[in-house]
Amino acid sequence: MARRSASADGPYRVSKGRPEPFGTTADERGVNFSLFSRYATTVELLLYRAADAAEPFQIIPLDPAEHRSFFLWHVFVEGLKTGTFYTWRVHGPDDTPATGRRFVPHKELVSPAAIAVTDTLWDRERARDPTDESRTSMRAVVADASFDWEGDTRLGGSLEGAVIYEVHVGALTRHPSAGVRAPGTFSGLIEKIPYLQELGITHVELLPVMAFDEQDAPPKTLAGGLRNFWGYSTHSFYSPHPRYCVTPELGTHPAEFKTLVRELHKAGIGVILDVVFNHTAEGGADGPTINFKGLANEIFYHLDATDRSRYRDYTGCGNTVNCNHPLVTWFIVRCLEYWVEEMHVDGFRFDLASVFTRGEDGQPMANPPLPWSIAFSRVLSDVPVIAEAWDASGLYHVGSFPGMRWAEWNGRYRDVIRRFVRGDPGLIGEVASCVSGSSDLYADDLRPPTSGINFITCHDGFTLYDLVSYNGKHNQANGEDNRDGCEHNLSWNCGVEGDTDDPEILALRRRQAKNFMAILMLSLGVPMLLSGDEVLRSQRGNNNTWCQDNELSWFDWNRVETEAAMLRFVKHLIGLRRRHPCLTRNSFLTGKPVPGRKLADVTWHGMRLHEPGWDDPTR
């Protein structure tokens, strides 16, 4: 039986609602809301008519006797339509040092399961102030989840034969030369699908597209007109990022992302998402309250055992998600399943995935629940999962990431091939292992060559052209006096640091870039190339452009013509790889005769026939 809301001027009647499904569900009768908070004492739902409305038009208090089932708070708002904006206020104990509970009842929170989030009024500095009561939070919008997929299905689970293209949604089309109708959006990327098809790649790996905080940057960085551009600062794991949408104020986030996926699938291109479940945008003790801190701080984050107001930071980002708490594992797996079932995503790459191996005490576990739960999920059973198999506090799992089916970014491959191409001696044996699929890392555990994602460059570090043009990083534009970014670049500038008009050096750089690309495309395993490397895109020696939403990061489409020779070379290499099964085989080379033939599957030679020179320290 519906009852009148406790809000005196509220137009909508409410009823008990249901705890499942988690988040917001709209139908012809109204909207069901469900929110997780174990220790909350009372909860309020605030409804707004617009993303920038100064005041809510209705505040709905939830009586725990009626609107709580175990740890889930729920309410059904009758007659409510899609397009309504909402936040939550959550009351509970604030005894952080002892228990880690951190309720701030005057702060408005955005639902962790919101499928469409706006940041129109968002102010990170105010959100950091526990005494500030202004309405400057993120806001969720009740979105229409229906969509015409036109018969689309996901592209299948194997990475055998895959060629991955790592790309930033905004950077690909924000340059004026892109010539798209909606630069920097999912829609803009759709207009570049013909280019991706012609290049020959099989999958795009999108840098974070889940809603993130662009204001999550040091004050000096923000004061210089920069912002968090890469997106490794997620706050709403179910929502596409509003800036990548054309009309986020209308709650079209799901439809716009689904359209991108559908059109990529029509072109035969799979979609892998780079996801960030190791930390959130809420930072440490001095960070803002967005959602998790004000709902379940004591569960969701690793906290210091002696003072639970302090956050353990294994990520270098202020906090660490407590991934192996049962409820957090449930949240992450459910979220991944949503992106597969609802959004038709084909795979995931997990940032700093070694965090997934840390137990609730922060120590590494031999059999951590989260990686196994992902592997055993029925929905995720045929979905490629790729680990960045390290974290920021010393864990390194390349070759040993726990769980079944996991592939790994092969950081050893990157380092060995970089050293080899720049001329370091004594690497012949390691190079042979790398180009033949890194069997020394994977074969003993019965893992195939596709367990290794081979790469020379990625978003994090030098571009391919900068790798052959700079000996050291040049990150002054980031506003941190060149202190940021990796020092371990294994690069060689070919004789001059940075720009030059010397034709011999320019020719050498192009030859070195081609050497890198050829080795990558002829190696067993799964190759991944960084967007723009096929046209020798440069970041002027900046190896950490996380905050550079400008021409330093953008894809300059003029280079498709000016670097046509390099582009043609890369296309031919990709085509060669995809045409020849011996380059995409998913079993390791043995040196033994192929069944039905007298020839071995591989023979090794050096400067002389049958003399590979494994022990030659000069090669």
Q: Hey, what domains does the chain have and what are their CATH numbers?
A: 12-141 (2.60.40.10)
**Which pLDDT score, from 0 to 100, does residue 275 have?**
99
Closest CA to 193 of 167, 159, 226: 167
Q: Residue 502 pLDDT > 90, yes or no?
A: yes
Section 227-235 average pLDDT: 99
What confidence tens digit (pLDDT) does each residue in 267-293 have? Answer: 999 999 999 999 999 999 999 999 999
**Which pLDDT score, from 0 to 100, does residue 2 have?**
45
Burial of 302 (0-12, 13-18, 19+ CB in 10 A): buried
Section 51-73 average pLDDT: 97
Mean pLDDT of the chain: 96
Strands 210-212, 72-78: pairing is unpaired
* pTM of the complete model: 0.97
What confidence tens digit (pLDDT) does each residue in 417-462 have? Answer: 999 999 999 999 999 999 999 999 999 989 999 999 999 999 999 9
**Which pLDDT score, from 0 to 100, does residue 37 have?**
97
Give strand ranges (E) for 12-71: 13-15, 23-27, 30-36, 42-48, 58-62, 68-69
Q: Residue 5 pLDDT > 60, yes or no?
A: no
Cβ(73)–Cβ(79) below 8 Å: no
3-state secondary structure of 65: helix
Radius of gyration (Cα) for the chain, nearest Å?
A: 25
**Which pLDDT score, from 0 to 100, does residue 176 have?**
98
HSE at residue 76, side-chain half, CA atoms within 13 A, is 18
What confidence tens digit (pLDDT) does each residue in 303-361 have? Answer: 999 999 999 999 999 999 999 999 999 999 999 999 999 999 999 999 999 999 999 99
What confidence tens digit (pLDDT) does each residue in 490-499 have? Answer: 999 999 999 9
Q: How many residues does the chain have?
A: 619
Ranking 4-8, 61-65, 346-350 by mean pLDDT, the lowest is: 4-8
- Phi, psi angle pair for 273, to nearest 5°: -100, 135
Look up residue 241 and give its DSSP letter: P
Look up residue 591 and give its DSSP letter: S
Distance from C-alpha of 113 to C-alpha of 116, rounded to nearest angstrom: 9
Give the confidence band of 6 by pLDDT, cuts at 50, 70, 90: very low
Section 110-125 average pLDDT: 98
What confidence tens digit (pLDDT) does each residue in 236-267 have? Answer: 999 999 999 999 999 999 999 999 999 999 99
Give the confidence band of 404 by pLDDT, cuts at 50, 70, 90: confident
**Which pLDDT score, from 0 to 100, does residue 4 have?**
44
Q: Residue 596 pLDDT > 70, yes or no?
A: yes
Which tokens sit at 81?
Answer: 């339509």
Give percent of the chain above pLDDT 70: 99
What confidence tens digit (pLDDT) does each residue in 150-207 have? Answer: 999 999 789 999 999 999 999 999 999 999 999 999 999 999 999 999 999 999 999 9
Cβ(364)–Cβ(400) below 8 Å: no
Q: Residue 15 pLDDT > 70, yes or no?
A: yes
Q: Residue 81 pLDDT > 60, yes or no?
A: yes
Which tokens sit at 422?
Answer: 């720049």
- Phi, psi angle pair for 173, to nearest 5°: -130, 15
Give strand ranges (E) for 200-295: 203-206, 210-212, 234-240, 270-275
Point out the residues that are catalytic: 351, 388
Give the confidence band of 1 by pLDDT, cuts at 50, 70, 90: very low
Distance from C-alpha of 486 to C-alpha of 474, rounded to nearest angstrom: 11
CA distances from 528 to 39, 163, 167, 291, 449 (A): 45, 6, 11, 34, 14
In the numeric block, the tokens 């662009």 are attached to 214
Q: Residue 3 pLDDT > 70, yes or no?
A: no
Section 398-408 average pLDDT: 95
Closest CA to 141 of 87, 204, 70: 87
Query: Hey, how many other C-beta atoms are within 10 angstroms of the C-beta on 598?
Result: 6
